[in-house]
Amino acid sequence: MTTKPQSDSILAQNSAEPTNSATPSDNAACENSNQSASQSWVYSDIVKDHFLSPRNFLMGDETKYPHDAEGTVGNPVCGDQMKMFLQIEDDKIKDVKWKTYGCASAIASTSALSELAKGKTLDDALKIGPAEIAEFLGGLPAHKFHCSVLGHEALAAAIENYHKQQ
């Protein structure tokens, strides 16, 4: 995995796996310090909340989290990478954990998606699209919408992984 510029990323301590190991406030400070007076980073309060207090983030060693499926996707252009882990029971997502290497929008999108997907059937979870993730977050800047697409793709990859194992 390549290292992204610090101004738009959460740098991984171990670049072999996605993480949000730097503190979110460190990343926000980096993003804000590199902005010109005419350029602003507009995030909703919901995005900020999911970035600063991500839900369902998998802390520590992923091999110690019992899961039925996992899916990993990345974007070679922006360098973001997302990994989702699912616990599935009776064709429903019982629990979701994730790791993301990326910007505030990527972390917030994955956090929001984990909340949206939990408790849904696999078929219903696949219907959660990028627009629904962005809407749940109160919108994303146009140049960050791809982060919600990556979240959707990571969930779809995990569900596909589960179906291949059956």
Active site residues: 78, 147
Residues 6+ apart with CB under 8 A from 130: 145, 148, 149, 151, 152
- Alpha-carbon distance of 51 to 24, in angstroms, equals 6
Provide the 10 A C-beta neighbour count for residue 56: 18
- 3-state secondary structure at position 83: strand
Beta strand residue intervals within 23-120, DSSP E:
69-74, 81-89, 92-101
Token reading at 90: 């009776």
86 strand-pairing partners? 69, 96
Q: Are 52 and 45 in contact (CB under 8 A)?
A: no
- 3-state secondary structure at position 41: coil
